[in-house]
A and B are shown apart, each in its own frame.
Chain A
Amino acid sequence: MHPLTDEGGTAPGWTANPAVQPGSPVGPEGIAGPAVHLNQVTKDFAQTRALDAVNLTVPAGQMLAILGASGSGKSTLLRTLNGLVAPTSGTVQVLGCDVTSARGRQMRQLRCGVGFIFQQFGLVGRLSVMENVLSGALGRIRFPRAGVLSYPRGLRLEALSHLERVGLADRAFQRSDTLSGGQQQRVAIARTLMQRPTLLLADEPVASLDPETSAAVMSLLLEICQEKGLTVIASLHQVELARGWADRLVGMRSGSVVLDGSPRDLSGDEVMEIYRGVVR
């Protein structure tokens, strides 16, 4: 599925679904069917029900925004998609793989193809920017790596090219915890590119950034997703930001999908309805 990078190859020009148009029935890498399919997915934590019988199908190439207040289940939904959270009941299928039953190697292989952008970036602070980006390739190689030097040169060149794409090539050997929030999230994007994903999940990718930076990071992320033809599922709470790029809006409240449609068909009032009565 994910061939090892050959030494010396930079492979910066990979695209996930070159031919896929939004709504196309052809999935990534020729797998027919949707990129994501959730059937009656429920997740209970100790006290609360985070997801309540969620059904959702996302065709390959779609750019989907999940809206909802804090605690509405957006993060849990995204985490079930790459197996970070195991649902209590229901089935989750991602890129033709049954996430609910995947274990070990199978699960890791699935995660390789699914990029995940976290709100808090998730960089290893004491490692250099370069090493953080290279860690995106861990799923493709066998052994743990002791540092930049132990990655094949081909991967190192690829990492630099991704850093170049996010505009941070000159910071490659700086320690990542010295970067600003916006720069750290760009490094996280480069790390995700290193995975060469076909599906990108983003959990509040710009919620920790100031408005100006968040607009810049968001547009960079979307630009890259469009270039590579990625399927995108991003949770957000800025409604207007989501309307600007999403093909489809899904609203969540108390663990259920309460709204589903294209931004053109949904009025502002309808969207704001999902935030009603949720006072925390």
Chain B
Amino acid sequence: MAAPTLRQTRQPAMRTAPPWTRQRSALVALVLVTVGGLVAGWRYIGMGVLPLFTGIGNIFKFLGQTVPPNFADFPHTLNLALVTVCMAVVGTAMAAVLGVIVGFLAARNTTPHPAVRWLARGLIVLCRSIPDLVFAIIFVEALGVGVLPGVLALGFHSIGMLGKLFAEAIEQVPEQPREAVTATGAGRFQNIATSVWPQVMPAFSSITLYRLDINLRSSVILGYVGAGGIGFLLNQDMGVLNFRHAVGIVIVIFVLIVVMEYVSALIRRSLIGTDAPATAAGGTRPAGSALPVLPAPLLSRLAAAVIPRPRRAIGAPSPDEAAAVPGTSGTLPDRVRRDPTLPPWTASRVHQHLFAAGAVLAVAVSLWVAEINPVSAVTSVRQIWDTFTLYFPPDFSTDRAGLISGTLQSVSVAVVATTVGVLFALPIGLAASRNVAGRWIYRITRGFLVVVRAVPELILAIVFVVAVGLGLMAGTFALIVGTVGFLSKLIADGIEEVSPLPREAVLSAGAAKLQETVTSVIQPAAPALVGDAMYMLDVNFRSSTVLGLVGGGGIGFILFQSVQVLAYRTTGAIILSTFVVVLLIEIITNWLRKELI
């Protein structure tokens, strides 16, 4: 009897399908465009899975020539590897300093003027769209073969990403504290230093460390064009087909990258892990937070021994003075004699100071070890400027056909690599999330991802060139593998941030594990996933220019052709074209973000 009643009460106008909103149409359009792009791109570059299998024999033959690896002249290799690390450190530090300035100018809420904001954003896109390798070519041209051009290339290119991410972090700072500090009569600069800077510091350090990882990988490639470091040696060996020695170098690079990844993960975790504040103000007892680096008591004892308490001699209050400050003398244990107006050395404060000191020390040591003279970068501004002007005005006419087909090829490679990469990265990303996968699956997958990401794309490209021959296909395969390694981690990190509360609710409603994963994990993480995929498209397009260097085809191929024949103005045209494509991807990404998120 209940069913007919229900049917009677149902209004004819009542609909159970969701309304056809703008957002939904955008989503459908995105899926259609992606599938269409995949099919069109796949056909344009003549992709196939078959050559990979037929080429496996070639890979084994090639790998056979590389064993056993030859570690001849190991100290020299190690020295060059160290120089590579130093390049990455100094380049990242340079980008961090400049990126902070650009970021504050580009953020909506801290920019002095809208015109300045657009200028800063233009600079960010410009730096991002010119691959570090192209910067390296220009700086090597201007300053000669050496480490400094590599540092400048990494630095300038990284300003793009750091400035962009810094600005985004600044724009997320809540408005209320800023307004409150304004209301106390603080000036603009004071206000930023008080209410914005402390809030963005953790994000800034974490982003910078992340960029250091990326720069270490890129700095290997820079050696190929004479910008110093271990890549130079690798290029030499590959040129004379000394594969066994080359593999020895690759192993050193691999170890370097894995070690750096772990070190930066440790630093990041120790910075975030000690964010939990001290429970009591007066105690020298450190916060009871988990410290992955060193046990907390050890650390604070170490700090107490190493770091003198600033101004203690001058600022230490006499007993009467301390008593005169109400409320503080009583709450402090008598044995702790310190100025009540000074903050105690809690574990998190010790960590922050150690981190800051370590960063400064790392840069100083790197400058010394790699014999980088930052002053010469300033004194050769004239030369650099002269070299830059060689590329202008750009010459689009000489190789118009090559320019157009090269750009189309690179876009196709990026689209195919990204979409195929997403298909693989989704399940792998789920398996690499602590809150979804079982413990062992999580650990094994994370380990696998570290290994995959530690192989520079350049090396992947070389392996695939051996397998399927020179051309676009090799570059695409290399980028697919790179995308899987990179995107899976991004997806996993995004999934680990999904709130556990709705998941509990869905499970409480009696959902199965898979149902729960789909409704309360994948769906909330989906907008971030679209953003990550677009970011990968951007990265892949720029990487595809780099892979032209080893025969990966596309716009990179004609880029290096034009560089080799010193056709500067054609090179300028190619650089400008990549800039336009990156800008277009940026605009589409922003539009998608607005429509979907």
By a beta-carbon cutoff of 8 Å, the part of chain A in contact with chain B is 10, 82, 84, 108-114, 116, 118, 120-128, 130-131, 135-140, 143-149, 153, 156-157, 159-161, 163-164, 169-175, 178, 188, 191-192, 194-195
**Contact call A118/B176, Cβ cutoff below 8 A:** yes
Of the A-B pairs whose beta carbons lie under 8 Å apart in the complex, a sample of 19, sorted by A's number, is A111-B184, A111-B185, A116-B183, A124-B194, A125-B199, A126-B201, A135-B186, A137-B184, A138-B181, A138-B185, A139-B186, A144-B193, A160-B326, A160-B327, A164-B325, A169-B328, A170-B327, A173-B343, A178-B277
**Contact call B331/A169, Cβ cutoff below 8 A:** yes
Residues in B with CB closer than 8 Å to A113 are 185
Flag the segment in B90-98, B278-286, B394-402 that touches A: B278-286
Q: Is B179 an interface residue (CB 8 A)?
A: yes
Q: Is B114 an interface residue (CB 8 A)?
A: no
**Contact call A130/B343, Cβ cutoff below 8 A:** yes
**Contact call B278/A135, Cβ cutoff below 8 A:** no
**Contact call A109/B193, Cβ cutoff below 8 A:** no
Which of A135, A137, A188 has the most CB atoms of chain B within a 10 A radius of its CB?
Answer: A135
| Nearest A-chain residue to B311, judged by Cβ | A149
Q: Tell me the residues in window 412-433 of chain B with beta carbons closer than 8 Å to chain A beta carbons.
A: none
Q: Is B393 an interface residue (CB 8 A)?
A: no
Residues in B with CB closer than 8 Å to A10 are 324-325
Q: Tell me the residues in window 170-195 of chain B with beta carbons closer than 8 Å to chain A beta carbons.
A: 174, 176-177, 179-187, 189-195
| Nearest B-chain residue to A137, judged by Cβ | B184
Which 10 residue pairs across A and B have the least CB separation, nearest first? A139-B185, A122-B180, A144-B193, A169-B327, A156-B341, A112-B185, A111-B185, A138-B186, A175-B277, A116-B183
| Nearest B-chain residue to A116, judged by Cβ | B183
**Contact call A153/B341, Cβ cutoff below 8 A:** yes
**CA A109 – CA B184 in complex, angstroms?**
9
**Contact call A170/B199, Cβ cutoff below 8 A:** no
B-side interface residues, number (CB < 8 Å):
44
What total count of A-B pairs have CB within 8 Å? 147
**Contact call A135/B184, Cβ cutoff below 8 A:** yes
Which of B279, B324, B343 has the most CB atoms of chain A within a 10 A radius of its CB?
Answer: B343
**Contact call B277/A174, Cβ cutoff below 8 A:** yes
Q: Is B344 an interface residue (CB 8 A)?
A: yes
By a beta-carbon cutoff of 8 Å, the part of chain B in contact with chain A is 174, 176-177, 179-187, 189-195, 198-199, 201-202, 277-282, 310-311, 315, 324-328, 331, 340-344, 346
**CA A229 – CA B186 in complex, angstroms?**
24
- Supposing A121-B176, A148-B342, A149-B311 touch, asked if A110 and B277 sit within 8 A by C-beta, the answer is no
**Contact call A110/B185, Cβ cutoff below 8 A:** yes
**Contact call B194/A82, Cβ cutoff below 8 A:** no
- Supposing A122-B176, A127-B198 touch, asked if A191 and B184 sit within 8 A by C-beta, the answer is yes
Contact pick for B342, options A109, A149, A188, CB 8 Å:
A149
**Contact call B311/A195, Cβ cutoff below 8 A:** no
**CA A224 – CA B470 in complex, angstroms?**
79
Residues in A with CB closer than 8 Å to B174 are 125
Residues in A with CB closer than 8 Å to B181 are 122, 124, 135, 138
**CA A135 – CA B177 in complex, angstroms?**
11
Residues in A with CB closer than 8 Å to B328 are 160, 164, 169-170, 172
**Contact call A122/B281, Cβ cutoff below 8 A:** no
The smallest beta-carbon distance between A167 and chain B, in angstroms, is: 8
**Contact call A138/B278, Cβ cutoff below 8 A:** no
| Nearest B-chain residue to A159, judged by Cβ | B341
Residues in B with CB closer than 8 Å to A126 are 198-199, 201-202
**CA A170 – CA B332 in complex, angstroms?**
9
- Supposing A127-B198, A143-B190, A156-B341 touch, asked if A170 and B184 sit within 8 A by C-beta, the answer is no
The smallest beta-carbon distance between B197 and chain A, in angstroms, is: 8
Query: What does DSSP make chain A's interface, helix, strand, loop or mixed?
Result: helix
The smallest beta-carbon distance between B432 and chain A, in angstroms, is: 30
**CA A257 – CA B327 in complex, angstroms?**
44
Contact pick for A144, options B189, B201, B341, CB 8 Å:
B189
**CA A118 – CA B177 in complex, angstroms?**
9
| Nearest B-chain residue to A110, judged by Cβ | B185
**Contact call A188/B184, Cβ cutoff below 8 A:** no
Q: A111-B184, A191-B184 are in contact. List 6 more A-B contacts (CB 8 A).
A: A10-B324, A82-B183, A113-B185, A157-B341, A174-B279, A195-B184
Residues in B with CB closer than 8 Å to A130 are 341, 343
**CA A140 – CA B187 in complex, angstroms?**
10
| Nearest A-chain residue to B281, judged by Cβ | A173
**Contact call B198/A170, Cβ cutoff below 8 A:** no
- Supposing A108-B187, A170-B327 touch, asked if A123 and B194 sit within 8 A by C-beta, the answer is no
- Supposing A108-B185, A109-B185 touch, asked if A125 and B281 sit within 8 A by C-beta, the answer is no
**CA A235 – CA B281 in complex, angstroms?**
34
The smallest beta-carbon distance between A103 and chain B, in angstroms, is: 12
**CA A164 – CA B330 in complex, angstroms?**
12
The smallest beta-carbon distance between A116 and chain B, in angstroms, is: 4
Residues in A with CB closer than 8 Å to B194 are 124, 127, 131, 135, 138, 144-145
**Contact call B326/A195, Cβ cutoff below 8 A:** no
Residues in B with CB closer than 8 Å to A172 are 281, 328, 340
**CA A120 – CA B177 in complex, angstroms?**
9
**Contact call A160/B325, Cβ cutoff below 8 A:** yes
**Contact call B282/A114, Cβ cutoff below 8 A:** no
Residues in A with CB closer than 8 Å to B180 are 116, 118, 121-123, 188, 191
**Contact call B201/A170, Cβ cutoff below 8 A:** no
Residues in B with CB closer than 8 Å to A128 are 343
**Contact call A125/B177, Cβ cutoff below 8 A:** yes
Residues in B with CB closer than 8 Å to A140 are 185
**Contact call B177/A170, Cβ cutoff below 8 A:** no
**CA A125 – CA B267 in complex, angstroms?**
22
**Contact call A149/B195, Cβ cutoff below 8 A:** no
**CA A160 – CA B191 in complex, angstroms?**
22
| Nearest A-chain residue to B200, judged by Cβ | A126
| Nearest A-chain residue to B196, judged by Cβ | A124
**Contact call B278/A174, Cβ cutoff below 8 A:** yes
| Nearest B-chain residue to A104, judged by Cβ | B187
**CA A149 – CA B180 in complex, angstroms?**
22
- Supposing A124-B177, A164-B326, A169-B327 touch, asked if A174 and B281 sit within 8 A by C-beta, the answer is yes
**Contact call B281/A153, Cβ cutoff below 8 A:** no
| Nearest B-chain residue to A136, judged by Cβ | B184
**CA A138 – CA B184 in complex, angstroms?**
7
**Contact call A173/B344, Cβ cutoff below 8 A:** yes
Residues in A with CB closer than 8 Å to B326 are 160-161, 164, 169
| Nearest B-chain residue to A134, judged by Cβ | B194
Residues in B with CB closer than 8 Å to A110 are 185
| Nearest B-chain residue to A169, judged by Cβ | B327
- Supposing A138-B190, A164-B326 touch, asked if A112 and B277 sit within 8 A by C-beta, the answer is no
